[in-house]
Each structure stands twice: as C-alpha cells, then as structure tokens.
C-alpha cells in the first residue's frame, strides 16, 4: 500500500504526517502530475515523492494522506480506498458527500466525533511518530521556542503579546501565511521576533529545540482539539516542556494534563508569568515522554 498526497501545502502537519507514515509503512509517496516520474523528489523528513499520472495509480491500493480544494474533483476516482481526515477544516460538504465511499481514518477524537455527527463511520488512530536519534545536549536547557506554522489557527499573536514584556522573548520559527502576518501580526513587531523557516529534516528540528526548555504552541481549532499535533510530539521527544493553549484542552477528550505532562495557559499574561517564573519542569517532561508510546505507529500496520 502506498500513500497519495492530494494537497498543495509543502509545510505543516499534513506533510509531517505523510512522511512519518511513509517511514512506518515503508511506503512510496505519490503526487498527481501530468506524467510519471521514476526519480523521486524531496518531500521532507528523509522521504521522497514520485509524480504519477492519475491513470497510473487508479486501482492501486492507496491511503490518501491529505486532501485540499485543488483535488476535490478527484475523490470519485478513489472510491474504496482509505482517506485520512485531520481536522474540521477538511469537513466541507464537497468532501463529506464522498466519504461514505471511503474507509475513513481520523487522528484526533474530536474530529472522529464530528464525522460521526455527520453519520460518517471512521476509525481513530493516533498520529504515527518515528522516533529519530536523540541528541543529548550538554548545555542546560533554557528559553522558549515556537515551531508551528505562522497561521490563523496557531494564534502566534498571543506569543507576540507575551514577548512585549518578556526579558527573554520566545523565539518564533515556521512557514508563514502572509495574510495572517499582514492582518494580525505586524502590529506586534512580528519581524523583530520571527527567525524564519527551517528545513524539513529531523536534524534541523533538533538543532532548534534541543537546548530549549519550552516549546510553546497556542493552537486552537474550532470543533477540534484535545489530541496531539506533530509540534507537540516533537517537543516531547526532545524533552522540552510543552505549553498549550487552554482552548486546545478545555472540555475536550485529552491526555494532556496541566502540571502533569504539560503547561496550559489561557492568554499571553499567563504565558508570560509562567516563563518568568521558570520553574523546574523535569517531572512534567518525563511524564510527557510516556505519551509517545501510543504514537509508535503499530496500529497503522494493519491499514
């Protein structure tokens, strides 16, 4: 079984998910193109993808790992296959009407519930996560970093507001949605705190977070939350204390517990106060590491 990436984004959770799943299942990654190519192109995190004509892969056993509006018209060609739905933004009518013809996998329980309310059977499976070689820093971990995309649902403005009063600001990395930056972030001196994108490799990621004490992720998604994202798993795997938005966990089915395996804050003031306090979080990061066990990908082997 191989993987089909039916989306345009080259950064973010869809890409990271596809790369991890490809490695766990030892599968090829395909993209739809005008001609078949035998030589792979870099996809990210040690994987490659192959361009394929639509006719070349119809009938092949596939997992569609992501779908966006540019490819909705292709959904009828792959009836009977498996498709992964990541978050509510994908649950548009033009997608939902096709899902009864697929085996549907969800990676967060809130999304699974949402599909059930639309009478769509689905199977929940945790994000697959490949544990790459751990780098142990000889330096004491210190400081905070954000490594998520710079986009509306990531609430980077909360981080920038906290930075206005932090003596040691949170470093901000990630691929930008320029519209979000223009409309929401420029008033908070975004350019002063933004450090740029980073390569899609484990080595680049580790070089950023290995010596950081905290990874800050202020994500909130309407009708979603509670579960994991790859930034969470990357933080935990590198023994960083994860700081989450209250909106991600409050009232949701979640394994993320405040002061047990993460820190939860409701706004920029709580974020700033916690980082200024800078307590010992070694027990929290140790507890969080146990969460990685359910992400070893074993449940994906039967898909």
With contact defined as beta carbons under 8 Å apart, do 21 and 3 qualify? yes
- Nearest by Cα to 121 from 139, 105, 98: 105
The torsion angles phi and psi of 102, rounded to 5 degrees, stand at -125, 160
- Whether residues 116 and 206 fall in one domain: no
Q: Is residue 260 part of a domain?
A: yes
Please indicate, yes or no, if residue 179 is contained in any of the structural domains.
Answer: yes
CATH number at residue 71: 3.40.50
Q: 228: closest CA among 256, 259, 189, 257? A: 256
**47 near 29, Cβ under 8 Å?**
yes
Residues spanned by the domain of 73 = 2-124
- Residue 190 shares a structural domain with residue 275: yes
- Whether residue 161 is found in the same domain as residue 280: yes
Answer yes or no: is 132 within a domain: no
How far, CA to CA in Å, does 118 sit from each of 67, 73, 79, 100, 207? 18, 21, 19, 10, 43
CATH number of 193's domain:
3.40.50.2000
Buried-exposed string 199-231: b where 16+ CB fall within 10 A, e elsewhere = ebebeebbebbbbbbbbbbbbbbeebbbbbbbb
Do 108 and 159 lie in one domain? The reply is no
Domain boundary among 124, 156, 171: 124
Task: Work out how many domains the chain is built from and give that number.
Answer: 2
Distances (CA, A) of 274 to 180, 197, 280: 27, 26, 11
* Within a domain: 40: yes
Tell the residue number behind the tokens 């400081």, with chain if given: 143
Q: Are residues 162 and 257 in the same domain?
A: yes
Q: Are 236 and 292 in contact (CB under 8 A)?
A: yes
Q: From first to last of the 303 residues of the chain, give the pLDDT tens digit.
A: 999 999 999 999 999 999 999 999 999 999 999 999 999 999 999 999 999 999 999 999 999 999 999 999 999 999 999 999 999 999 999 999 999 999 999 999 999 999 999 999 999 999 999 986 655 555 689 999 999 999 999 999 999 999 999 999 999 999 999 999 999 999 999 999 999 999 999 999 999 999 999 999 999 999 999 999 999 999 999 999 999 999 999 999 999 999 999 999 999 999 999 999 999 999 999 999 999 999 999 999 988
- Residue 296 C-beta-side C-alpha neighbours within 13 Å: 5
Per-residue DSSP letter, 181: I
For the record, the structure tokens of 82 come out as 């498996």
Q: Which residues are bridge partners to 123 per DSSP?
A: 105
Given the structure tokens 């517990």, which residue do they identify?
257
pTM: 0.94
Are 70 and 173 part of one and the same domain? no
Is 169 found in the same domain as 89?
Answer: no
Task: Report the C-alpha gap between 275 and 166 in whole angstroms.
Answer: 8
Based on the fold, state whether residues 84 and 148 are members of the same structural domain: no
């Amino acid at each position: 079984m191989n993987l089909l990436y039916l989306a345009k984004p080259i950064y973010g959770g869809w890409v990271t998910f596809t790369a991890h799943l490809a490695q766990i299942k030892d599968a090829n990654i395909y993209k739809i193109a005008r001609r078949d190519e035998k030589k792979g192109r870099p996809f990210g995190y040690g994987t490659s993808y192959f361009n394929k004509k639509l006719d070349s892969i119809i009938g092949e056993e596939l997992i569609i790992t992501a779908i966006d509006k540019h490819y909705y018209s292709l959904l009828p060609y792959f009836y009977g296959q498996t498709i992964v739905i990541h978050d509510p933004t994908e649950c548009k009518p033009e997608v939902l009407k096709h899902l009864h013809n697929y085996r549907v996998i969800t990676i967060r329980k809130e999304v699974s519930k949402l599909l059930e309310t639309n009478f769509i059977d689905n199977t929940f499976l945790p994000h697959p996560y490949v544990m790459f070689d751990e780098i142990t820093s000889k330096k004491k971990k210190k400081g905070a970093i954000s490594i998520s995309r710079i986009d509306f649902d990531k609430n980077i403005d909360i981080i920038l507001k906290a930075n206005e009063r932090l003596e040691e600001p949170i470093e901000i990395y990630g691929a930008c949605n320029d519209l979000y930056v223009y409309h929401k972030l420029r008033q908070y001196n975004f350019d002063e705190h933004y450090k740029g994108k980073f390569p899609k490799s484990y080595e680049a990621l580790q070089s950023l977070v290995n010596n950081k004490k905290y990874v800050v992720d202020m994500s909130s998604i309407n009708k979603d939350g509670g579960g994991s994202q790859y930034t969470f798993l990357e933080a935990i795997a590198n023994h960083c204390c994860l700081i989450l938005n209250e909106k991600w966990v409050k009232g949701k089915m979640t394994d993320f517990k405040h002061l047990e395996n993460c820190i939860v804050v409701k706004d920029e003031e709580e974020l700033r106060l916690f980082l200024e306090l800078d307590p010992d979080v070694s027990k929290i990061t140790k507890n969080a590491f146990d969460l990685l066990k359910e992400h070893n990908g074993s449940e994906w082997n039967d898909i």
